[in-house]
């Protein structure tokens, strides 16, 4: 009798495990999950002490030794910069290079304890209006938040992507990502005609090709100096 009960209980457990193993996500959900799991370890939170308080933003790790891309307005007029990686480690960062407000890109450098995961860039020239995009950032301090939307418009004059993926304070410098997990833009700003600081469905991102050019233009000696100047 005891053996029969044990056998039935074992069969029950196996059937329960089989049910859970067969849980399926919708194709669109699985894309979001895959992209998030691929990219989020390479996204950091940034806090810069500036003249009028604290500037918070997001960054993309672009080299395993701790080179990070963000928005220049995140670290503008900084006194101290702190970076928190996806695993919760916090590091002091040094400003390596930055561009003006029109480009709004900056590189900062930390010295991590071990090699970091990095993002990969896509070709922003291939981006189309209507294309699905995902955004990862640290809105209002809620780290590694994922949102989704589409490319709503391409501003060819100002060279900006417009998107309805939610971008809020703290997301600046974070990635706008395509469905294959490539960074196609760097979140920059939101449109707020009523002076509301929250997202209203109109956000802007700098095309990834601009970021690629910027990173390539930075003197490697300057990066090395930042790494050595702890």
Predicted pLDDT at 17: 52
Q: How far is it, in rounded angstroms, from Cα 222 to Cα 229?
A: 10
Among the listed residues 73, 124, 135, 189, the single catalytic one is 73
172 is an active site residue: yes
Asked if the structure places residue 102 within a domain, the reply is yes
Average pLDDT over residues 2-14: 50
Do 129 and 208 lie in a common domain?
yes
114 and 161: one domain? no
What is the domain count for the chain? 2
142 domain residue, yes or no: yes
Task: Label residue 76 by pLDDT band (50, 70, 90).
Answer: confident
Rounded average pLDDT over 138-155: 96
Per-position b or e across 88-105, b if 16+ CB within 10 A of its CB:
eeebebbbbbbbeeebbb
Question: What pLDDT score was predicted for residue 22?
Answer: 56
* Greater pLDDT, 13 or 170: 170
Q: 166 and 224, same structural domain?
A: no
- Which pLDDT score, from 0 to 100, does residue 53 have? 84
In a domain, 3, yes or no: no
Both 99 and 151 in one domain: the answer is no
In the residue annotation, 187 being an active-site residue is answered as: no
Q: Which residue has the tokens 């809105």?
A: 139
One domain for residues 165 and 187: yes
What is the pLDDT at residue 47? 95
Q: What is the pLDDT of residue 15?
A: 53
Structure tokens at 142: 């809620």
Taking alpha carbons only, the member of 133, 140, 113 closest to residue 45 is 140
Residue 158's nearest CA partner among 215, 74, 102, 101 is: 102
> Does residue 180 share a domain with residue 141?
yes
Strand segments, DSSP code E, in 9-105 are: 43-50, 53-63, 67-70, 78-84, 90-98
pLDDT above 90 for 23:
no
Q: Nearest-5° angle of CA 92, CA 95, CA 99?
A: 150
> Average pLDDT for residues 193-215, to the nearest whole number?
86
For residue 108, tell me if it sits in a domain: yes
pLDDT of residue 11: 46
Q: Are residues 60 and 172 in the same domain?
A: no
Evaluate if residue 16 carries a pLDDT over 60.
no
User: Could you tell me if residue 69 is inside a domain?
Assistant: yes
Residues 128 and 207 both lie in one domain: yes
pTM of the model: 0.85
Q: Which of 58, 48, 36, 49 is nearest to 143 (CA)?
A: 58
**CB-based contact 203:174 (threshold 8 Å):** no
Lowest mean pLDDT among 8-22, 98-112, 208-222: 8-22
pLDDT at 5 over 80: no
Distance of CA 161 to the CA centre of its chain: 16
Quick check: is 33 in a domain?
A: no
pLDDT of residue 224: 64
Q: Has 194 been annotated as catalytic? A: no
Based on the fold, state whether residues 160 and 174 are members of the same structural domain. yes
131 and 203: one domain?
yes
Checking if the pLDDT of 229 tops 80, the result is: no
pLDDT of residue 195: 66
**Residue range 135-160: average pLDDT?**
96
227's CB contacts (< 8 A; 6+ apart) are 65, 66, 109, 111
Q: Which residue from 116, 120, 138, 143 is spatially nearest to 35, judged by alpha carbons?
A: 120
Q: What is the CATH number of the domain that holds 196?
A: 2.40.10.10
Structural contact between residues 112 and 91, judged by C-beta atoms closer than 8 angstroms = yes
Which among 55, 124, 135, 172 is annotated as catalytic? 172
What confidence tens digit (pLDDT) does each residue in 37-68 have? Answer: 999 999 999 999 987 788 999 999 999 999 99
Same domain, residue pair 44 and 88:
yes
Domain that holds residue 109: 39-118+217-228
Instruction: Return the higher-pLDDT residue of 102 and 168.
Output: 168
Q: Residue 166 pLDDT more than 70?
A: yes
User: How many whole angstroms separate alpha carbon 175 and alpha carbon 188?
Assistant: 10
CB contact at 8 A, 68 and 108: yes
CB 186 within 8 A of CB 60: yes
Mark whether 53 and 113 lie in a shared domain. Answer: yes
Indicate whether 2 belongs to any domain. Answer: no
pLDDT at 225: 64
pLDDT, the chain, mean: 88
User: Does residue 195 lie within any of the structural domains?
Assistant: yes
């Amino acid at each position: 009798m005891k053996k029969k009960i044990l056998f039935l209980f074992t069969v029950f457990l196996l059937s329960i495990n089989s049910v859970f193993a067969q849980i399926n996500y919708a194709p669109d959900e699985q894309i979001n999950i895959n992209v998030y799991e691929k990219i989020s370890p390479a996204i950091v939170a940034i806090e810069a002490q500036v003249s009028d308080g604290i500037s918070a933003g997001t960054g993309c790790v672009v080299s395993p030794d701790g080179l990070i891309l963000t928005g220049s307005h995140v670290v503008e007029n900084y006194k101290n910069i702190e970076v928190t990686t996806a695993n919760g480690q916090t590091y002091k960062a040094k400003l390596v290079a930055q561009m003006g407000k029109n480009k709004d890109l900056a590189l900062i450098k930390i010295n991590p304890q071990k090699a970091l995961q990095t993002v990969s860039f896509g070709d922003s020239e291939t981006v189309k209006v209507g294309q699905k995009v995902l955004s990862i950032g640290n809105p209002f301090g809620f780290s590694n938040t994922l949102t989704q939307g589409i490319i709503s418009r391409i501003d060819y004059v100002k060279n900006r992507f417009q998107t309805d993926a939610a971008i809020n304070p703290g997301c600046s410098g974070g990635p706008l990502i395509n469905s294959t997990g490539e960074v196609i833009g760097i979140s920059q700003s939101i449109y707020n005609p009523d002076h509301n600081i929250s997202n209203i469905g109109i956000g802007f991102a700098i095309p990834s090709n601009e970021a690629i050019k910027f990173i390539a233009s930075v003197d490697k000696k300057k990066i090395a100096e930042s790494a050595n100047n702890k």
